[in-house]
Structure formats: structure tokens, C-alpha cells
């Protein structure tokens, strides 16, 4: 017997310099990949007791990062099973729930998008498709994405990163007393982690408190076991000029990103509790230790005094939160972010970037490009900041698209945002119905009224269907507050690229916060395969007097909706058959994770809801033992 050499070849990944080996159409990666594994891969995995990651040669879809990809398109273009014909009340609905528990107690709300890793070898459990869930109780749970096997609860592994009584998760009320209600209960893992498929690692930020104070930790967890990898966790600390990072005040809401061989982490505030800044940190992980390589403070020269707002354009602030969206990353590795309310003076030679789009070098976090909103004084005063959502890079890399709380959708040239050149966005239009109105000035400005045109907030932000022109061309979808779901034709070779009159409008209007949080699923450009999924609050639930407020300061029942992407006709929603399909409490800002014929939904009900085809014979991964004969021949 001998090993077929043609089965063994090196593979690389998007983040790690060394990834692993592919054998018999299976990929094996991870920090345990020793010389034994490098030479014999699958055999070493079995003999040496190693639990590597494995994927088929025909690469299955992995949802490894916030909004599916580094461009943040919000799209899974490789969904083979779900389509506009079978997503209907008769054939599609709730398959099962996963209850999230910690020592028998509720596992916590989920603000992070569930991530999906296919064909992962779990020690003692075999080859599994894995759903990774992080909770506000500092729990990380790996679930069998295909449902609990007979006699099992479906939990493949779980970790509690804040263990009482010596260490605990942080209560939001401790950091930001009433009336702070944007986040309820614990403030543990708030952001969406990121998976390094090549290294076999899950990177995340957890928050804890103990007798010495508040802490934030960067973890690298082994995908197969949930254990900390060498050098993990590392306590997050930083300074910039005379500013020091405060782990109590700074809210790590933005999803993590991988760029240029670095882990990128950004922070905002807890409902503007002062003093705060926007921070971005970059870390390199070499498998042994985390090394901080870059620090960026959005408003280093801003005033942090609690009366700073008595002078316009003076308060520091500049938080980065983007309704949870991770930074966009372009093909050169630049990190692209929207910054919220705060001092802005870069156009006058300063160093403060409130209400700006910036592109940062991933290694040093030096500013590569920028543009500050021309009306930043007004939107800053009216709390209509750009940072309410995050940027999306249109495939092809030519355009950056996104908007914020004024309700304006912007398009920038990726090659020149316009800050240094004196230009700016090539396009801007209201993504909802605009109106002139006067709003009371917020805490960043002197008291008074700010009068301006505005539409419903853009919070969830756009998603994108990349289709060739012969199949209808690309489409951009957005659902702003006080509006309906809208679809826009997108022309990547034209300036400006977006047809500002919607091609289609959905029938459902959501007046309240945050409207619809979207995902696009499709099998390439096939017309019948395109579905726009929307996670939203249920406008027909709750106290009638509060319905127009949405979920800003209220806990609301949730609803999952599906529309045909070609014309936005309704296909299905979870209240068509509430006894079977009801979702639970709405997890605001969390998009549906649509992959492998199922839809995974976070909730604030201590559970994950899983939807799919009711009578489809879903298949689990092939047991790894049946693949051993592929390695040998006589």
C-alpha cells in the first residue's frame, strides 16, 4: 500500500501565509498541522488524533465573515436549493430551534450574525457542518447546522468566556444607566466574529469584568474544539497621542474583519456615553502571539468634556458602529469605514474625521483616503450621522456604496473618495421618501432646531445581486426606515452607476427602527433563484401606540420575510403560519444567514431559529471513515 502523491497538494488561504494541505479533495488546515500531517494529511488526522478542518474539492459555501464576504455585499450567490418556487407557505417553514443555554440558564441575546463552516472534523463527533453562535453572555457555541442527530442536543462544543464568580460579563446598565436601552442585559460578545478558514481559527472580542475593573479580550479559538489557541486571549489595550483606550466606555459593535494579514477591530460608544472616541486596532497573529500593529483614533483633537456640545463641531466622539456591519475590505486590503457624529476638521488640515468615510492601511491603519460629508455640521447636530450603517464595495471594486441616518445613499469612486482632491461622492440620493423637517439639536451642538431634508434612516444597508447584463444586470437592494424594500438597477461601467428611481418596490412599509436587515441568496444569475430575505420587527405586534417606533428602545417580536429578487413580490413570511413558523424576539441588525438550503436566524429569545424546506431530504456530510480508501491503492 502506498499514498497516492497526486492527492497531496499545498493550499493557501486569504489570511494565513501557511494554510495546510488538500488530500483526496479534502482540505486540512489548523495550527496542529505537523510534519506528520503535512506528509500524510488525512492519515495523520486519524492516527495523530488531530482534528483539522475538511472541505470538499468542490468548495461548499462557508459564511466566514459579517455579510458573507469582505466587500459586505450581503449575498450568497451559490445557494442551490432555495428558490422562488419552493419558498412558499406550503413547502417552506420552521425546521427546528436551537435553545442557547449556559449551565441551564439563558445563554443571552445574539447580536452577532451566525457564521457557517462546512465539513469540519469535530473530535469524537466526526464530520459536521457547523453553525457558530456568539452571545451577549460571552458564550460561543458550535452547533450542528443540520440539526441535532438522534440522541444529541446538537451542541458540538461550547465555551463560556466570562465565568462567574471571579469573572463575569458586563451588564449594560453598569456602563450606561437608564435611559440607555439600545442594548439590554449583558454586553459580552456584541460583534460578529470572523473565521480564518486557513488557520482553523475563530477570532472574536469578549468583554468581562472582575475586581480590577473592565476588560476586553481578543480571542483565537480552535474551530474544531473551541479551545484557545496559543497566545489567546490577549487583553486589548491601546493609546494614541494623549488618548487612552477605555474598555468600559468603548463599545465593540462592528464586526471583525481580516485584511492584509491582520485582524481589524473597531469601536464606538454606548449611546454616546462620554468621553469616547472612535478607535480602530489591527493585530497580527502568528499562531503563538497577538501583536498590535496599528492604532487609529478618529477624533484625537476633539473635546471630551461633558459640555463640549456648547460649541459646534467641537466634541470628540466619532464612534464606529455601522449597525454591526464589519468594515469593507478592497482587493488591495484597504479597510473602509463610516465614522459617526464627531469633530471633523480634516478638510482644514486637522486630524478629526467625524461623519467621514475613510480607507485605512490594514497594517499601520494610516489614512489612505477620506471624505467628510459636506453638511457634516448639520447632520452632526441633528444626530443624522453617516455612521448609522456601513460601506459596501460593489463587485469589480470600482464603487463604494452606503448611507446613514439622513437617509441618503452615496456612491464614491473607490480610487478617489474626494477628500484630498476636493471632490466627493459621484452620486447621492434619498433612499426613501424625503421631507423637510426641523429636529432638535443633539448633545454634539448648541441647543436649537436643525432644519434640513431627510428620509428614513439607512441602518441595515444595501445588499447586491451581481448578474451579467444579459440576465438583467446587477441590482442593489435597500430597506430604509419609514419606507418599503426597494430595488435599484446598478450599472458598474457607468458613472454614476445607480438608477435613482427604484426599479421595484416591495408592498410592506416599516416606519420604525431599523426597518429590514437584508440578505440576498441566488444560484448565480438564475432569475427564479434570486430571493431577498429580510429580518425585521413585526409591525403588527406589540402595543399599537409603540408600533411606529420599531425596535430602537423596545423589545419587539420578529418576522422573517422573503421576496422574489426580480420584482420584490412577496413569497413567504413567518407569520403566514405563526403556529408553525413564529420567529421569536427580533434580534436587531442581525441579517439572516442563508446557506446550504437553510435560513439561520438569531433572536433575543435565547434560541436560533432554523428555516428550510419542510419535506426535503437534507443530507449530512459523508462520514470521514468512508473517505479513507481514497488515500490508498494496491
Express each pLDDT in 530-543 by its tens digit.
Answer: 999 999 999 887 76
Instruction: Kindly state the cell numbers that stand for 304.
Output: 471630551
Q: Cα separations (Å) of 386 from 351, 406, 456, 531? A: 18, 7, 13, 28
Hey, CA dihedral for 179, 183, 189, 194, is it positive or negative?
Answer: negative
β-strand partners of 367? 360
Using 70 as the pLDDT threshold, list the residues of the chain that sit under it: 1-58, 163-173, 177-179, 543-547, 623-634
Q: Is 150 exposed, middle or buried (0-12, 13-18, 19+ CB in 10 A)?
A: exposed
Considering all CA atoms of the chain, what is the largest pairwise distance in Å, rounded to the nearest integer? 85
The rounded distance, in Å, linking the Cα atoms of 408 and 400 is 14
Q: Which residues contact 393 (CB under 8 A, 6 or more apart)?
A: 70, 71, 72, 73, 328, 329, 330, 336, 399, 400, 401, 414
Helices (H), 347-485: 376-381
Backbone angles phi, psi at 585, to 5 degrees: -75, 135
Residue 485: which of 514, 505, 512, 501 has the closest Cα?
Answer: 505
CB 360 within 8 A of CB 420: no
β-strand partners of 53? 120
Report pLDDT for 27.
44
CB 339 within 8 A of CB 326: no
CB 64 within 8 A of CB 29: no
Q: Is 342 exposed, middle or buried (0-12, 13-18, 19+ CB in 10 A)?
A: buried
598: left (phi over 0), alpha (psi -120 to 50) or beta: beta
Beta-strand ranges (E) seen in 490-530 are: 504-510, 517-521
Helix (H, G, I), strand (E, B) or coil at 629: helix
Report pLDDT for 520.
98
Residue holding cell 469535530? 122
Q: Cα separations (Å) of 481 from 194, 325, 345, 500? A: 28, 17, 30, 18
Q: Which residues contact 477 (CB under 8 A, 6 or more apart)?
A: 462, 463, 464, 465, 485, 486, 487, 488, 518, 520, 532, 565
Report pLDDT for 624.
58
Q: Cα separations (Å) of 385 from 78, 207, 427, 452? A: 35, 26, 18, 13
Helix (H, G, I), strand (E, B) or coil at 43: helix
CB 456 within 8 A of CB 406: no
The rounded distance, in Å, linking the Cα atoms of 140 and 157 is 8
The rounded distance, in Å, linking the Cα atoms of 1 and 74 is 48
Strand 517-521 and strand 75-76: the pairing is parallel
Q: Which 8-state DSSP code applies to residue 527?
A: G
Helices (H), 341-391: 376-381
Report pLDDT for 545.
67
Residue 322: which of 479, 476, 514, 175 has the closest Cα?
Answer: 514
Report pLDDT for 552.
81
Q: Own/partner pairs for 286-289, CB < 8 Å, 24+ apart?
A: 287/31, 287/199, 287/229, 287/230, 287/231, 288/230, 288/231, 289/230, 289/231, 289/234
DSSP string, 486-497: EEEEB-TTSSS-
Amino acid at each position: 500500500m502506498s499514498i497516492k502523491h497526486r492527492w497531496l497538494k499545498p493550499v493557501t488561504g486569504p489570511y494565513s501565509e501557511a494554510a495546510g494541505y488538500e488530500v483526496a479533495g479534502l482540505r486540512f488546515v489548523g495550527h496542529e498541522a505537523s510534519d506528520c500531517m503535512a506528509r500524510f494529511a488525512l492519515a495523520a488526522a486519524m492516527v495523530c488524533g488531530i482534528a483539522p478542518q475538511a472541505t470538499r474539492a468542490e468548495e461548499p459555501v462557508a459564511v466566514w465573515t459579517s455579510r458573507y464576504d469582505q466587500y459586505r455585499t450581503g449575498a450568497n450567490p451559490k445557494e442551490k436549493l432555495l428558490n422562488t418556487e419552493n419558498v412558499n407557505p406550503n413547502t417552506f417553514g420552521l425546521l427546528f430551534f436551537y435553545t442557547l443555554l449556559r449551565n441551564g440558564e439563558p445563554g443571552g441575546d445574539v447580536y452577532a450574525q451566525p457564521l457557517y463552516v462546512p465539513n469540519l472534523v469535530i473530535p469524537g463527533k466526526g464530520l459536521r457542518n457547523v453553525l457558530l453562535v456568539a452571545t451577549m453572555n460571552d458564550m460561543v457555541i458550535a452547533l450542528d447546522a443540520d440539526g441535532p442527530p438522534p440522541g444529541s442536543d446538537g451542541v458540538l462544543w461550547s465555551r463560556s468566556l466570562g465565568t462567574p464568580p471571579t469573572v463575569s460579563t458586563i451588564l449594560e446598565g453598569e456602563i450606561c444607566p437608564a435611559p440607555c436601552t439600545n442594548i439590554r442585559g449583558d454586553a459580552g460578545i456584541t460583534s460578529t466574529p470572523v473565521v480564518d478558514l486557513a488557520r482553523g481559527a475563530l477570532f472574536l472580542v469578549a468583554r468581562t469584568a472582575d475586581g480590577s475593573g473592565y476588560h476586553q479580550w481578543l480571542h483565537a479559538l480552535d474551530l474544531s474544539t473551541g479551545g484557545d489557541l496559543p497566545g489567546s486571549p490577549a487583553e486589548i489595550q491601546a493609546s494614541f497621542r494623549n488618548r487612552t483606550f477605555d474598555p468600559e466606555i468603548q463599545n465593540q459593535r462592528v464586526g471583525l474583519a481580516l485584511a492584509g494579514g491582520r485582524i481589524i477591530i473597531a469601536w464606538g460608544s454606548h449611546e454616546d456615553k462620554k468621553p469616547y472616541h472612535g478607535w480602530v486596532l489591527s493585530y497580527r497573529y502568528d499562531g503563538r502571539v497577538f501583536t498590535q500593529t496599528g492604532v487609529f483614533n478618529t477624533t484625537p483633537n476633539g473635546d471630551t468634556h461633558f459640555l463640549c456640545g456648547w460649541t459646534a463641531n467641537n466634541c470628540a466622539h466619532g464612534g464606529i458602529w455601522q449597525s454591526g456591519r464589519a468594515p469593507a475590505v478592497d482587493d488591495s486590503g484597504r479597510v473602509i469605514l463610516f465614522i459617526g457624529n464627531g469633530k471633523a476638521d480634516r478638510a482644514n488640515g486637522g486630524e478629526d474625521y467625524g461623519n467621514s468615510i475613510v480607507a485605512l492601511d490594514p497594517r499601520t491603519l494610516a489614512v489612505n483616503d477620506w471624505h467628510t460629508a459636506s453638511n457634516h455640521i448639520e447632520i452632526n447636530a441633528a444626530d443624522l450621522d453617516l455612521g448609522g450603517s456601513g460601506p459596501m464595495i460593489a463587485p469589480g471594486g470600482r464603487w463604494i456604496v452606503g448611507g446613514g441616518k439622513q437617509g441618503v445613499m452615496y456612491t464614491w469612486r473607490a480610487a478617489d473618495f474626494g477628500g484630498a482632491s476636493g471632490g466627493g461622492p459621484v452620486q447621492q440620493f434619498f433612499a426613501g421618501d424625503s421631507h423637510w423637517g426641523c429636529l432638535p439639536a443633539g448633545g454634539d451642538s448648541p441647543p436649537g432646531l436643525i432644519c434640513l431634508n431627510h428620509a428614513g434612516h439607512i441602518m441595515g444597508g444595501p445588499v447586491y445581486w451581481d448578474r451579467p447584463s444579459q440576465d438583467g444586470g446587477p441590482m442593489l437592494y435597500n430597506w430604509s426606515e419609514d419606507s418599503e424594500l426597494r430595488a435599484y438597477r446598478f450599472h458598474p461601467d457607468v458613472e454614476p452607476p445607480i438608477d435613482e428611481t427604484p426599479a421595484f418596490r416591495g408592498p410592506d412599509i416599516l416606519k420604525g427602527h431599523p426597518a429590514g436587515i437584508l440578505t440576498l441568496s441566488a444560484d448565480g444569475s438564475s432569475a427564479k433563484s434570486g430571493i431577498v430575505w429580510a429580518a425585521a420587527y413585526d409591525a403588527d405586534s406589540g402595543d399599537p401606540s409603540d408600533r411606529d417606533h420599531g425596535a430602537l428602545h423596545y423589545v419587539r417580536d420578529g418576522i422573517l420575510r422573503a421576496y422574489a429578487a426580480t420584482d420584490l413580490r412577496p413569497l413567504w413570511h413567518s407569520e403566514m403560519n405563526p403556529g408553525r413558523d413564529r420567529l421569536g424576539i427580533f434580534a436587531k441588525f442581525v441579517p439572516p444567514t442563508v446557506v446550504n438550503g437553510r435560513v439561520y436566524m438569531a433572536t433575543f429569545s435565547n434560541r436560533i431559529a432554523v428555516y428550510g424546506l419542510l419535506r426535503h431530504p437534507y443530507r449530512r456530510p459523508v462520514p470521514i471513515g468512508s473517505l479513507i480508501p481514497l488515500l490508498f491503492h494496491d
